[in-house]
Structure 1
C-alpha cells in the first residue's frame, strides 16, 4: 500500500533545564495535561493516557513501544518537531537517542518549529522566552547539524531527497537564500536534493515555490475552515449569553473560548477548494487546548472515531488521486499532542478507537 500515514510527534515529555527555569522544576507536557478541568457538562477533560501511562521520553524504550503500536495500526512514520534557535537546541534528547541507538525501526522526518517561544500558556503572549534569529551563517550550521539525521537509513526520502518541513517559512527574512544553501549542501552530501514542505496555517495560501519549497502541507485544524460555532446552533440563546457575558453579569464559557463543531469543521475541510500547487493533506482526531489555556482556548466538540474514519478515507482518496505513489504522504496531527487534546495515542476514554478508525479509513 503506497499511501504513507505520517503522525506528527511532540517530544516535550522529558525535563529540560529551560522548562525548569521558565515554568517550574520538573515541567513537561504532562504538567498542563494533569491540571486540565471539565468546564461544562459533557466537556471531555482531562485527557488521561491509557493505564495512566505518563511516560518519560528520556528513555528510548518508550519510543520503541510507541513505534510498535503505531505500526500495528498502519502508521508508517513520525514527523518530529525540531527546535533550533541559532544553534541552541530544545527537546532534542529523544531524536538524539533515536539516532545513536538506531532504534526504533521507524521511518521519520523532521519539522523545524521555528517560532519564538513565549509565555502563551499563562496568557503572557508577548513575553519571549527564547527568540528566533536568522542568518545565512546559521542556516549553514543548521543544515550541517541535520545531515546525520538525513543520512540515517530510516529518514523519509522521496527520490533520494530527504523530506524536511518548516513550520513558518514566512518568518525567515531570507528564506529563498537559505533554501538555495540547504539544497547545495544536500547535493554535496550525496543527495539528489531536498524535498521541502512548508506548513500552511498562519497565512492564507502562499505558493511554496515563492519560498523555494516543493510543496505545502495543510495544518489541521486550519483557522480558515473552522466550521460552525457550537453555541450558534441556538442563535437566540447565543445572543443573550453574549450580552450577559459582555456586560459582566454572567461569564460564558462559550464567549471566553472558541468552541466549534468537529463535524462541521470536517465537512468544511473535506470541501476545501483544491490548491493550485502540490499540497499534502492533514487530519486530526480531536482538538481541545484548554489544558494549556484557561481562557481563549479552541475546542472542537463532537469528535467521534466514526467521523474521523470518514475524514481519513476522504483525505486518503484525495492523496491517492493527486500524488504519485512515491509522494503519497498523509499527515496526522498528532501522535501525542496531549496538551491540545489531539492525540492518536490511546486514552482511558477511547482506548485504541481512533487508531482503529485511522487504519480502517486508510484501508477503505
Structure 2
C-alpha cells in the first residue's frame, strides 16, 4: 500500500480582523473563546489550552513555520485551509495569502470553501446573520477566477494535475451541478486538465459524490447519527447505553447548570465499531475521515456537542481500523482527512495541548507510517 496522506483541516481564525473587532469586540480571535471555557460537569476536559505552539498569531511567519514544521515531523501531508468568500468579500485570508508569498512555508495545501452564512453561533444556522451567502453563476465565475492563482502554486495539492477544491455545504447552492460545470470550464481554460472537486460528507450531505457532479467526498467527523460515517448508532451497544447517557450526562447536567446540550457521548462508543463496519462498508469515492476529539462548549453556551473521555489510545484504535479496512485501491489518492489541526474552540485539534502534549501526533505517525 502506498503511504497514506493525512490532510489536516486548518482554521485561520487566530488573528484579529476588522469584522471580528466590530462583531465580537476589539482584538477578538479564536483564543478569546478558548480561554473563557470552563468545565461544565465533573470530569469534563475544559479548557483546552495550547502547549508547544502557545497562543499564536497567524499573521506571524514564525507561528506558521512552527505549525508546518510540527506537522511535517509527524507525517501530516498537508493542510486544508477553510476559505471564506461572500460575493467577493473575503475573511480570514491573511495566513494563506502570506504563505503564498513565502517559499519557506512549503507544506502542501488545499482549500475548502466554508460556504455558510456568517452568524452569531458559528454554525451558519442562526437567524442573526452577519454576512449572508448569496449565490449566482456570475459569482461562481468570479470566485473560481480568484482561486486560480492559488491552484497554480506548486504547493497546491493536485490529483493527476487537477487542483482539489472542496465545498463544505453543497446543498446550499441553488444548482450545484451548474456551478461545478462553470468551475471545471474555467480551470480548463487556463490549462488545467480539470478540477478535482469534493465535498464534506456529513449528516445533511450524505449523497454519493457522482449524484451531484462531484469527484469525491470525505467523511467529515464527527458525523453524528449517520451510518454513512461508519458509526453504528443503531447497534445494541449504543441502544443499551443511550438512556444511561441521557440520564447521567444529560438530564443531571442540564438540571444542575441550566445548560442545553445537544448531545454528550463517550468517544470510545463513538469509534468502537470495527466489527459492524465490515457490514456497512464504505461509500464509493468518499475518503475516510477521523477526529481526535470534539467539544464545542467553548463556542456554544447552549446546544453544544461533547465527545467525552477522548484519549490518544482510542483515537489510535479508530485510526488503525481505517488504515487496515478502507479500500485504498478504489481511490486515486490515499487521502485521510483529519478534523482538525487547530479547531481549539471545538476541542478538536492535533496541535499539542497542555493535557495530552504531542500524544495525538505521536500515534498518528505511529499508525500511518
TM-score after normalising by structure 2: 0.90
TM-score after normalising by structure 1: 0.91
Partner of 1:99: 100
Cα distance between partner residues in 2 of 1:163 and 1:351: 32
Post-superposition shift, 1:317? 2.6
Q: Deviations over 1:85-136 (max 9, x none)?
A: 1010000000100111233110100000001111116999210010001111
Partner of 2:182: 181
Question: Quick check: 1:231–1:238 contact (8 Å CA) kept in 2?
Answer: no
Partner of 1:293: 300
Structure 1: gaps spanning 5 or more residues:
none
Indicate whether 1:345 and 2:345 are aligned. no
Cα distance between partner residues in 1 of 2:157 and 2:193: 14
Partner of 2:135: 134
Aligned with residue 262 of structure 1, among 262, 267, 277: 267
Assess, with a 3 A threshold, how the Cα gap between structure 1 residues 89 and 245 changes in structure 2: closer, same or farther: closer
Indicate whether 1:156 and 2:157 are aligned. yes
Assess, with a 3 A threshold, how the Cα gap between structure 1 residues 239 and 287 changes in structure 2: closer, same or farther: closer
Q: Which moved more, 1:58-67 or 1:198-207?
A: 198-207
Assess, with a 3 A threshold, how the Cα gap between structure 1 residues 270 and 53 changes in structure 2: closer, same or farther: farther
Post-superposition shift, 1:360? 1.3
Q: Which residues in structure 2 correspond to 1:5-24 (within 5 Å)? A: 5-24=6-25
Q: Deviations over 1:313-339 (max 9, x none)?
A: 111234453435x41100000000000
Question: Quick check: 1:175–1:211 contact (8 Å CA) kept in 2?
Answer: yes
Over the residues paired in the alignment, what is the CA RMSD in angstroms? 2.7
Partner of 2:334: 328
Cα distance between partner residues in 2 of 1:329 and 1:236: 37
Partner of 1:203: 204
Question: Quick check: 1:319–1:330 contact (8 Å CA) kept in 2?
Answer: no
Q: Is the partner of 2:159 in helix, strand or coil?
A: coil
Indicate whether 1:170 and 2:171 are aligned. yes
Post-superposition shift, 1:203? 1.5
Partner of 1:32: 33
Q: Is the partner of 1:177 in helix, strand or coil?
A: helix
Q: Which moved more, 1:260-269 or 1:173-182?
A: 260-269
Partner of 1:302: 309
Cα distance between partner residues in 2 of 1:253 and 1:268: 33
Cα distance between partner residues in 2 of 1:142 and 1:130: 17
Structure 2: gaps spanning 5 or more residues:
none
Question: Quick check: 1:200–1:217 contact (8 Å CA) kept in 2?
Answer: yes
Assess, with a 3 A threshold, how the Cα gap between structure 1 residues 52 and 345 changes in structure 2: closer, same or farther: closer
Q: Is the partner of 1:126 in helix, strand or coil?
A: coil
Cα distance between partner residues in 1 of 2:243 and 2:219: 31
Assess, with a 3 A threshold, how the Cα gap between structure 1 residues 59 and 286 changes in structure 2: closer, same or farther: same
Post-superposition shift, 1:181? 1.0
